[in-house]
Chains A and B, each alone.
Chain A
């Protein structure tokens, strides 16, 4: 989908992300060292890594938007999923680090409340004099607000343009914002209530949220890379749409393969029809349109649908009718004994495109031998004695009762 508005371009968004991190890094490092705050300075160094991540994202976007070529016929769109895997692994590491620090803090504060002794933190406790309070609070609050704004921008443009990498980076920025908010809560609690411990249980909750987010990004990225099928309900709905289409038939060889890359869905359909090529072209034309319409109702922005229609061949076999001659026409005979002739039909499914009339031999065993020689599978009379049915079916021919005596009703003659 082309964006004609400059601020909806993925490159513009990434540009904003890099500018945001540059501002954060310079302000956090400057203020962190000035205020002697390891929390702010540490977060500033973390943001340096984010700048490199954003640069990697630009490279990923450039590659993914390159048109298909001879070597990569389907383009390089999936490189974003590879990028998303790395981003989510980074996020997972961040979550782990946060969880370890937070657990350590919770344990030590727990011990403090129980024993009254607070010592040996893995991460340095907050150290700030009141003279730095407004600086530190302002920087952290501004940084958190900026993170949430940019994350919203990244995710919405990423979804709109179908760039998974941008969405993943947006989620990562959101986690940054949450960490900054937690640090801010810790600073405020320490300053106003002397309750710095609140930061640690909050950080544990954030670590949990980061973990679940990174797992969800990882799952989505692997689903794309491994071409996981679309949701079962969607696949079933597509198949239902296909089978409702006039001219498409249920068949064991009918097949549907689906997957998605970002917000683009791919559908490959093999469907059975009994039509000629012109009608098949119309069916495929209509189906592509209807499948796209069906998927666009879901979360997809674009759909590529490829349809192969195969012809369902009807079974060829032979059927015979015991008939009785009446003047110049024939009627289906009551039994094999009362028949004067046997009509041998070359069947195609349930239709008989060709049939011949053969004289019936007098004796029933010879008649059965004749049917076997003609490779007849089904034999029809209007009535039949149980004795004859047993005799015929013993030879492997199915003996059946005709619904009507008229050959017209049986589709052998026209009016």
Chain B
């Protein structure tokens, strides 16, 4: 079953992640899975019960106003998360840094996912059909959250072409991806707009577009051919906008 997961921490970042995950779970209508660590010592059943009770009341206090339909507590004894059900989202700034098998949403310092007619999801597009699955996943999320979608594409200048209009510099493959993205958005009846520009760098362009266009979320995936400096990782390092990096299963890679 799909769920929004979060790793329990009492730090400020941990509280923010918990609040964000709780809000997201309540908006998506998914259960919230709180994963906590039990100390490496023998605890009696009563001690474990006390531990879980305290964690539970802490979670409910943080989630006030955005209580998901179900909160599940799971012990992470034995180490970090290794598996999650398909389509689930882990809300974590820490885990978004590394390559994972599942989708990780880094909320940065935000405590809520912004929802409303003026908000959008920013989905960067490439010149490759492989990004269509990511685009569809982003659009599906937009349908549930009832917000719009911005397809962002940054392009290199075509040598010899003097036009200032970035649209003229887009290659045919990228144009095709943008057109298909618009068709998918139309199919799901999600308000969508394409933004094309020639940004100095891809992460900078994505981050600025997300800030400018009022994006509540950036949805990206990692290409499995990139060794270092992947756009998803670089964008995550730069931006303050929450960013969802899809896992290979969800991104179809």
Q: Which residues in A have some Cβ–Cβ distance to B below 8 Å?
A: 244-247, 249, 273-275, 278-279, 282-283, 285-287, 289-290, 324, 326-327, 329, 331-332, 349-352, 401-411, 414-415
Known: A404-B36, A415-B80. A285 touches B212 (CB 8 A): yes
Please give the distance in Å from B234's CB to the nearest CB on chain A. Answer: 11
Which B residue sits closest to A334, measured CB to CB?
B47
CB neighbours of A410 from chain B (8 A): 9-11
Tell whether B108 is near chain A: CB-to-CB under 8 Å. Answer: yes
**Which of B128-136, B153-161, B237-245 interfaces with chain A?**
B237-245
Name 5 extra pairs, CB < 8 A, besides A246-B114, A290-B212, A290-B214.
Answer: A246-B211, A278-B204, A326-B41, A329-B39, A403-B58
Chain A proximity mask over B27-46: 1 for CB below 8 Å, otherwise 0? 00000000011111101000
CB neighbours of B43 from chain A (8 A): 405
Which A residue sits closest to B41, measured CB to CB?
A326
* Bound: A278/B235 CA distance, A: 11
Q: Is the CB of A285 within 8 A of B40?
A: no
Interface residues in B36-78 (C-beta closer than 8 Å to A): 36-41, 43, 47, 51, 54-55, 58, 76
CB neighbours of A285 from chain B (8 A): 208, 211-212
Known: A246-B211, A415-B76. A279 touches B240 (CB 8 A): yes
* Bound: A274/B114 CA distance, A: 19
* Bound: A247/B242 CA distance, A: 10
Known: A279-B240, A286-B208, A411-B14. A331 touches B41 (CB 8 A): yes
By Cβ-Cβ distance, the 6 closest A-B pairs, closest first, are: A286-B211, A247-B240, A350-B12, A411-B11, A326-B41, A331-B39
Q: Is the CB of A404 within 8 A of B51?
A: yes
Q: Which residues in B have some Cβ–Cβ distance to A below 8 Å?
A: 8-15, 36-41, 43, 47, 51, 54-55, 58, 76, 79-80, 94, 108-110, 114, 204, 207-208, 210-214, 238-242
Which B residue sits closest to A407, measured CB to CB?
B39
CB neighbours of B210 from chain A (8 A): 286
Which A residue sits closest to B205, measured CB to CB?
A282
Which A residue sits closest to B204, measured CB to CB?
A282
Q: Is the CB of B211 within 8 A of A283?
A: yes
Q: Is the CB of B211 within 8 A of A404?
A: no
Q: Is the CB of A246 within 8 A of B241?
A: yes
Which A residue sits closest to B13, measured CB to CB?
A351
Known: A279-B238, A350-B11. A403 touches B212 (CB 8 A): no
Please give the distance in Å from B212's CB to the nearest CB on chain A. Answer: 4
* Bound: A352/B210 CA distance, A: 31
Q: Is the CB of A326 within 8 A of B39?
A: yes
Q: Is the CB of A409 within 8 A of B37?
A: yes
Task: From the candidates B36, B38, B55, B109, name the one contacting A247 in the complex (CB within 8 A).
Answer: B109
21 contacts between A and B (CB under 8 A): A244-B114, A246-B114, A246-B211, A246-B240, A247-B241, A249-B109, A274-B109, A279-B240, A285-B211, A286-B210, A290-B212, A327-B41, A331-B40, A331-B41, A350-B10, A403-B10, A404-B54, A406-B37, A408-B39, A409-B9, A415-B80
CB neighbours of A326 from chain B (8 A): 39-41
CB neighbours of A402 from chain B (8 A): 10
Q: Is the CB of A415 within 8 A of B39?
A: no
* Bound: A329/B204 CA distance, A: 42
Known: A246-B211, A403-B55. A279 touches B36 (CB 8 A): no
Q: Is the CB of A406 within 8 A of B36?
A: yes
Please give the distance in Å from A311's CB to the nearest CB on chain B. Answer: 13
Known: A404-B54, A409-B10. A282 touches B211 (CB 8 A): yes
CB neighbours of A351 from chain B (8 A): 11-13
CB neighbours of B207 from chain A (8 A): 279, 282
* Bound: A329/B238 CA distance, A: 35
CB neighbours of A329 from chain B (8 A): 39-41
CB neighbours of A245 from chain B (8 A): 211
CB neighbours of B14 from chain A (8 A): 411
* Bound: A287/B37 CA distance, A: 40
Q: Is the CB of A247 within 8 A of B79?
A: no
Which A residue sits closest to B42, measured CB to CB?
A326
Please give the distance in Å from B17's CB to the nearest CB on chain A. Answer: 11
Q: Is the CB of B109 within 8 A of A287?
A: no
Pick from B79, B94, B208 the residue with the most CB of A within 10 Å: B208
Which A residue sits closest to B216, measured CB to CB?
A246
Which A residue sits closest to B14, measured CB to CB?
A411
* Bound: A276/B43 CA distance, A: 42
Q: Is the CB of B240 within 8 A of A282?
A: yes
Which A residue sits closest to B81, measured CB to CB?
A415
Q: Is the CB of B10 within 8 A of A246?
A: no
Q: Is the CB of A246 within 8 A of B54?
A: no
Q: Is the CB of A287 within 8 A of B211?
A: yes
* Bound: A331/B114 CA distance, A: 38
CB neighbours of B37 from chain A (8 A): 404, 406, 408-409, 415
CB neighbours of B213 from chain A (8 A): 286
Please give the distance in Å from B13's CB to the nearest CB on chain A. Answer: 7
Known: A246-B240, A275-B240, A403-B10. A409 touches B211 (CB 8 A): no
* Bound: A350/B62 CA distance, A: 15
Q: Is the CB of B54 within 8 A of A403?
A: yes
CB neighbours of B51 from chain A (8 A): 404-405
Please give the distance in Å from B24's CB to the nearest CB on chain A. Answer: 14
CB neighbours of A279 from chain B (8 A): 207, 238-240
CB neighbours of B79 from chain A (8 A): 415
Q: Is the CB of A406 within 8 A of B114?
A: no
Q: Is the CB of A286 within 8 A of B212?
A: yes
